[in-house]
Structure 1
Amino acid sequence: MAEAAAAPAVRAAVGDSEFDRDTAVTRRGPGVYDIDLSAGWSILGAVNGGYLLAVLGRALGDALPHADPFTVSAHYLTASRPGPAVVRTETVRTGRTLSTGQASLFQYDDEGNEVERIRVLASYGDLDALPGDVRTSAEPPAIPPAEQCFGPEDGPDPLDGVSAITERLRLRLDPATLGWALGKPSGRGEMRAWFGLADGRDADPFSLLLAVDALPPTAFELGLKGWVPTVELTVHVRCRPAPGPLRVSITTRNLAGGFLEEDAEVWDSADRLVAQSRQLARVRLG
């Protein structure tokens, strides 16, 4: 059983937390949704890719006959900014156990032109209907107890607006993956942490879409600095997470040509692998 991470005295319920409010979309008409992207989930002024995935995931969960994301593949076309946005969805196919749809998020540029920010293709189903048979060689990541790990509050005070998302998360980073913060990156391309939302809300399938993209980039442990924008991100949600903290492990094995991959695993408090992802990201060299 996983060690419990420290939680706030009062826990927000699923459906009534800051994450739920900030990812909620308003249906304008069939397949069209409005949202005001919150600045609270931004990094260096750009909205976090996992938060955006949850926003589009919520829209598709409303538009499709099945409610739970099984696989979500996103291409990030241009950087999203806090403020008004429109999500347009389309049902591609519906079946008895799976439904497939696509969604795009649009904003307006300074000249008033509509710009597509992100495009998603996803399949949805019913996680509660999955059989319980599990045959796996995967093992939970070895992370020290939360009280032996470190959060943003343990470092120097951040600059205002640099990483607003950290205030909405409860991250406790494995010391073995924190060499970059001490000016001594390990070169191993690994990042591991306990993960939760700051208001104590338990995880659900949509917050898993955030969790795979919420840790510091593995590029930091490779000795690189600065923004690492996502080009493409695919997430597989494997089962509904149990209440309690999550453990997230992310690895990079190959940085070449200014791009790297990040493979993430998310484990719940019952030691189950609840989500996996792979993304391609761009890095700035030199």
Structure 2
Amino acid sequence: MSEAAAVQATIGDSEFDRDTAVTRREPGVYDIDLSAGWTIIKAVNGGYLLAVLGRALADALPHGDPFTITAHYLTASRPGPAVVRTDVVRTGRTLSTGQASLFQYDEDGTEVERIRVLASYGDLDALPDDVRTSAEPPAMPPVEQCFGAEDAPPGTSPVTGSSAIMDRLWIKLDPATLGWVLGAPSGKGEMRAWFGLADGRDADPLSLLLAVDALPPTAFELGLSGWVPTVELTVHVRCRPAPGPLRVAVTTRNLAGGFLEEDAEVWDTAGRLVAQSRQLARAKL
């Protein structure tokens, strides 16, 4: 997938897997060192954090695939040590429900909860094949007609500070959603891109939790700039993605009172809708 990846990473053996790996200290308690490689400005990306908690819940619950997961982002997470605590709410034959929270320590040693998650897990491979939908994949130009961060003119990013996460992602944006780069945002609140991990690792259910929150904010195409922190994010994983690059489309219809929603769809190479999400985010006006 990535031209820079000499050897394509595999699921279970990639930077994403290493950086989301949690170590079980005792039942329901996991340690992790949050990587600085997934930051934007000084904060750790919300999709990466959701994948961390998603991995802990996959270990804690009898089912391994996230079906629906909702996160409330309470305070900004920083790179460094963190603790994830999980609780099994209910287990059933086809679905199990659990909750998890991620904690870090402030400078004065006070433990602070960063994120709280409630999720239901199941087995995606056990789902029936029947699909009845009116949804259609986003119409996008081929990859070679789209643009990545390496193609942007110097000094055109509306976000100042670290964007280390971009080195870990393979994103080719639809030119129709790139007006903000040239100082002429469309005002439509849309962002579309081909998406993958920079080391070539194929997508799986956990990496879909990252994919829905990895594109530049739709706020950029609304003429806004700066960080757009997530307040709440809900993801529905619909099926296990086929190998190859994903198509991600994100839209915003309403910005009011300093908050906006982002609705995301993720499609695989088989033309299937593999994940959907909605988040509420705070916009800098």
Q: Does 1:152 align with 2:155?
A: no
SS in 1 for 2:227: coil
Aligned partner (choices 62, 76, 86) of residue 89 of structure 1: 86
SS in 2 for 1:233: strand
User: What's the CA shift for 1:163?
Assistant: 0.5
State the partner residue of 1:11: 8
Q: Structure 1 stretches (4+) deviating beyond 3 angstroms?
A: 4-9, 156-161
State the partner residue of 1:238: 238
C-alpha change, 1:128 and 1:7, in structure 2 (3 Å) is: farther
State the partner residue of 2:260: 260
Q: Deviations over 1:60-114 (max 9, x none)?
A: 0000000000000000000000000000000000000000000000000011000
Q: Does 1:224 align with 2:224?
A: yes
User: What's the CA shift for 1:268?
Assistant: 0.3
Report matched runs for 1:176-187 at 5 Å: 176-187=176-187
Q: Does 1:131 align with 2:128?
A: yes
Retained in 2: the 8 A contact 1:5–1:194? no
Q: Which amino acid aligns with 2:125?
A: D
State the partner residue of 1:101: 98
Residues of 2 paired with 1:143 and 1:172: CA distance?
11
Query: Where does the alignment leave 5 or more consecutive residues of structure 1 unmatched?
Result: none
Retained in 1: the 8 A contact 2:177–2:221? yes
User: What's the CA shift for 1:157?
Assistant: 4.8
Retained in 1: the 8 A contact 2:64–2:122? yes
SS in 1 for 2:63: coil
Residues of 2 paired with 1:224 and 1:283: CA distance?
8
Retained in 1: the 8 A contact 2:2–2:199? no
Scaled by the length of structure 1, the TM-score of the pair is 0.96
State the partner residue of 1:65: 62
Residues of 1 paired with 2:59 and 2:52: CA distance?
11
Scaled by the length of structure 2, the TM-score of the pair is 0.97
Retained in 2: the 8 A contact 1:230–1:280? yes
SS in 1 for 2:235: strand
Residues of 1 paired with 2:69 and 2:94: CA distance?
16
C-alpha change, 1:197 and 1:75, in structure 2 (3 Å) is: same
Q: Does 1:247 align with 2:244?
A: no
State the partner residue of 1:272: 272
C-alpha change, 1:265 and 1:7, in structure 2 (3 Å) is: farther
Residues of 2 paired with 1:201 and 1:104: CA distance?
27
Q: Does 1:39 align with 2:52?
A: no
State the partner residue of 1:143: 140
Q: Which amino acid aligns with 1:76?
A: Y
Q: Deviations over 1:6-58 (max 9, x none)?
A: 68442101000000000000000010000000000000010000000000000
Q: Which amino acid aligns with 1:200?
A: G
SS in 1 for 2:133: coil
Q: Does 1:119 align with 2:124?
A: no
Residues of 1 paired with 2:95 and 2:4: CA distance?
35
SS in 1 for 2:197: coil
Paired-residue identity, %: 84
Residues of 2 paired with 1:260 and 1:249: CA distance?
16
SS in 2 for 1:196: strand
User: What's the CA shift for 1:156?
Assistant: 3.5
Query: Where does the alignment leave 5 or more consecutive residues of structure 2 unmatched?
Result: none
Retained in 2: the 8 A contact 1:53–1:209? yes
